[in-house]
Amino acid sequence: MSLLELDGVKVHFPIKKGLLFDRTVGHVYAVDGVSLKVEAGETYGLVGESGCGKTTLGRSVLRLVDITEGSVVLDGTDLAKLPGEEMRRFRRRLQMVFQDPLGSLNPRQNIESILSEGMIAHGIGKDQEERREKIKAILDKVGLPSNALARYPHEFSGGQRQRIGIARALVLEPDVIICDEPVSALDVSVQAQVINLLEELQEELGLTYVVIAHDLAVVRHISDTIGVMYLGSLVEEAPSDALYAEPKHPYTKALMSAVPVPDPEVEDKRERILLTGDLPSPANPPSGCRFHTRCPWAQAERCATERPELRDVGGGHRVACHYAEDIASGKLRLTKGEVVSATREGVEDNPTEDTPEAEAAEADAPAAETPAKIPAQAEKPAEKAVEAEDKAATAEEPAKAEGKAEKAAEAKASPKPEAADEADEAVAADEAKASEEPEKAV
C-alpha cells in the first residue's frame, strides 16, 4: 500500500444565489474524481493551468475543504471519515507549505513563537526549553541561524521566509508535506535554492512531498511522478522522465511544446502546438472529454459524449484519452489547432498561456532557465545562499510586510490548542481569490 492514496476525490463547491434564502443554483466542480498514489519518500508533482483545482485537491487531503466524494487514505486510515478530533491529531502528519510565505506567518509573533505554536498544539516537547532546542536544530537544517529565533517575519527575505515556512512544517515531524507553489513567489535564483533545500531535506529525513506548481520546469527537477490536471481531473500521470520524454495526452503535449529548450539546436527545431478556444469554466465543464473543446485531435461523437478513464498505456504511464495510442503512432491527424515552429513570430499568442498568472509567471521565471540553474545553485553552501538572501531582506519594506500580514495575525489570534490548524485554514482561505467567488464563476 502507498503512503497516501486518493480514490475518486471530488470537491464540488455549491454556488448560492438569493438574498433571503440561499439557493444552490449549481456547483463549481473544482476537483472532479482524482485518484492517485504517493509512495513513501517520493515526490509527486501536480501541474496544470490556473484554476484547474490543484490547491483545492491539496487542501482536500488536509480536510481544509470538505470532500464531496471519495477517499483520502494516509497510511491505511481514511481521513475523509475521521471525526474532527482524530483528524486534528492526524493533521500533524500532513503539513502544508504555502505559496506566500509572508502571508502565512503571523507578523506579531517571533520565529520561536511561530514554530512553537504547532508543537504545543500537538503536544511535542515537554517544555519550551526542549522545544527551543528542537527548533534550533530544524532552523539549522533549513539553513537559518539560531539567532533567527527572536526575530520577526518581516526581518527576513522571501526565500528565508519560505525556509521558515518549511521549518514550521518540519518541527511537527510530518510524513507528507504538501508544497503549494512553494517557489512561485520567489526570484529565480532563490527558487533553485529552496527546491534544492527541499530535496536535501527529503534525502535526510525521508520525507514525502506533493509539490504543486504551474511551472513544468520546477516540478520536473524534483518529482518522481508527475500528474497533469485539467479542469478538476488528472489527464495524464507518469514517472517524471517518461512524461517529459513522451507526453501522451494532447493537453500535456501542448503544455510541453510551450516550454523552451536550453539547447539552441533543439530549440530551433522545436514545434509548438497551438490550442484554440478558452479554458472552460469549472462551473460548467464540457461533456465527455473535458478537453474536447480545445483538443487538436478531438474526434466527432465519442470525445464529446464519453468521458475517458485514466488508463495505463504501459509502464505505469496513465492517460485519460480515448485515442492516446493512435495519436502516438501518428494514425490520427489534427482536427483543429495548429503545429508551428516554436521560434515563429507570434506563437506566444497561444491561448494556453493567455491567463494573467501564466504571463506573470513567464515574466518572473523563464522556464528554460530554471532547470539549467538548479544544479549549479546546488553547489552553493547554504550559508552563502542565506547571506545573499539576508542582503535582499534589507530591501524589504517593513511597512508593506506589516500591512499584508495583518490579516494573517487576525486569523491566528485564537488561543485554542487547535490554533495552528485553524490558522492554516485561515491562511489558506485568505489565498482564495475574490475574482473566483462562486457567484462570479457563473
Ligand X SMILES: Nc1ncnc2c1ncn2[C@@H]1O[C@H](COP(=O)(O)OP(=O)(O)OP(=O)(O)O)[C@@H](O)[C@H]1O
Q: Give me the residues that bind ligand X (CB under 6 A), please.
A: 13, 28, 30, 48, 50-56, 214, 282, 357, 432, 436, 438, 441
Minimum distance between the CB of residue 110 and ligand X, rounded to whole angstroms?
A: 30
Which of 88, 253 has the CB closer to ligand SF4? 253
For residue 184, give the nearest of 105, 100, 102 by alpha carbon: 100
**Residue 308's binding partner out of ligand X, Mg ion, ligand SF4, none, with CB under 5 to 8 Å set by partner kind:** ligand SF4
Decide: is 308 part of the binding site for ligand SF4 (CB under 6 A).
yes
Pick one of 298, 342, 365, 367: the residue that binds ligand SF4 (CB under 6 A).
Answer: 298
Distance (Å, rounded) from C-alpha 290 to C-alpha 316?
22
Residue 123 C-alpha cell reads as: 503536544
**Binding mask 47-86 vs Mg ion (x if CB under 5 A, - otherwise)?**
--------x-------------------------------
- # residues contacting ligand SF4 (CB under 6 A): 14
Check: CB of residue 188 under 8 Å from CB of residue 365. Answer: yes
Decide: is 43 part of the binding site for Mg ion (CB under 5 A).
no
Q: How far is CA 422 from CA 122, 236, 363, 408, 416, in A?
A: 13, 34, 34, 11, 9
**Sign of the alpha-carbon dihedral angle for 139, 140, 145, 146:** positive
Distance (Å, rounded) from C-alpha 38 to C-alpha 242?
17
Decide: is 291 part of the binding site for ligand SF4 (CB under 6 A).
yes
Check: CB of residue 176 under 8 Å from CB of residue 36. Answer: no
Decide: is 104 part of the binding site for Mg ion (CB under 5 A).
no
Decide: is 321 part of the binding site for ligand SF4 (CB under 6 A).
yes
Minimum distance between the CB of residue 87 and ligand X, rounded to whole angstroms?
A: 19
Check: CB of residue 106 under 8 Å from CB of residue 98. Answer: no
Which of 390, 431 has the CB closer to ligand X? 431
Check: CB of residue 36 under 8 Å from CB of residue 234. Answer: yes
Which of 384, 440 has the CB closer to ligand X? 440
Residues sharing a CB contact under 8 Å with residue 52, sequence separation 6 or more, in sequence order: 229, 230, 231, 232, 282
**Residue 291's binding partner out of ligand X, Mg ion, ligand SF4, none, with CB under 5 to 8 Å set by partner kind:** ligand SF4
Which of 185, 190 has the CB closer to ligand X? 185
Using CB atoms, what's the residue nearest to ligand X?
436
Which of 51, 143 has the CB closer to ligand X? 51
Q: Where are the alpha helices (DSSP H) in 110-258?
A: 111-121, 128-141, 158-170, 188-205, 216-222, 240-245, 250-257
**Residue 418's binding partner out of Mg ion, ligand SF4, ligand X, none, with CB under 5 to 8 Å set by partner kind:** none
DSSP run (H or E) holding 172: none
**Residue 361's binding partner out of Mg ion, ligand SF4, ligand X, none, with CB under 5 to 8 Å set by partner kind:** none
**Binding mask 115-154 vs ligand SF4 (x if CB under 6 A, - otherwise)?**
----------------------------------------
Q: Which of residues 237-266 bind ligand SF4 (CB under 6 A)?
A: 249-250
Pick one of 303, 342, 367, 420: the residue that binds ligand SF4 (CB under 6 A).
Answer: 303
DSSP run (H or E) holding 12: strand 4-17
Q: How many CB atoms lie within 10 A of CB 434?
A: 6
Minimum distance between the CB of residue 377 and Mg ion, rounded to whole angstroms?
A: 25
What SS3 class is residue 152? coil
Q: What is the DSSP letter of 303?
A: H
Minimum distance between the CB of residue 58 and ligand X, rounded to whole angstroms?
A: 8
Distance (Å, rounded) from C-alpha 139 to C-alpha 124?
17
Q: What is the DSSP letter of 80?
A: G
Minimum distance between the CB of residue 202 and ligand SF4, rounded to whole angstroms?
A: 33
Using CB atoms, what's the residue nearest to Mg ion?
55
Residues of this chain that interact with Mg ion (CB under 5 A) are 55
Note the residues at the interface with ligand SF4 (CB under 6 A): 249-250, 289, 291-292, 295, 297-299, 303, 308, 321-323
